[in-house]
Amino acid sequence: MLEFPTPADIEKLCDKVKGYENVILGSFMTVRAYAGKSSGRLSDEQVELISRLQKESQNFILLIFGGPYMLSSLDVQKDCLIAYGTNQDAIHSAVDAMFGKFEPTGKLPVNVPGRYAFGHSV
């Protein structure tokens, strides 16, 4: 997913996934100290895209790569898995967990204000 998808990008992607039973979206985030409060958070455009895909997809899975603070701007209504990294190992582990190769046992090591408490898990 693009960091700042345009309205045209959002429409194009939503149109592409119509008719699919399963939709998986990976969202990658890199924390940048110089970016201030916006670092570690999704852009408004990303939030709009995720919200639309959640509503319009029968089975929607969100894979978050980078950290849990992305959840602070989302109303996650469907399946979501967080990997604390953006490297190949994190990606492969998240995909393996998603397809049932192992049962994730992680818990949030932080509070996500207004959303989830320290220690939350599924």
Q: pTM to 2 decimals?
A: 0.82
The model's pLDDT over 72-111, given as tens digits with 9 standing for 90+, comes to 878 776 788 989 888 999 999 999 999 999 999 889 889 9
pLDDT in tens, 7-60: 999 999 999 999 899 999 998 876 665 555 555 677 888 889 999 999 888 899
3-state DSSP of the chain = CCCCCCHHHHHHHHHHHCCCCEEEEEEECCCCHHHHHHCCCCCHHHHHHHHHHHHHCCEEEEEEECCHHHHHHCCCCCEEEEECCCCHHHHHHHHHHHCCCCCCCCCCCCCECCCECCCCCC
pLDDT at residue number 5:
86
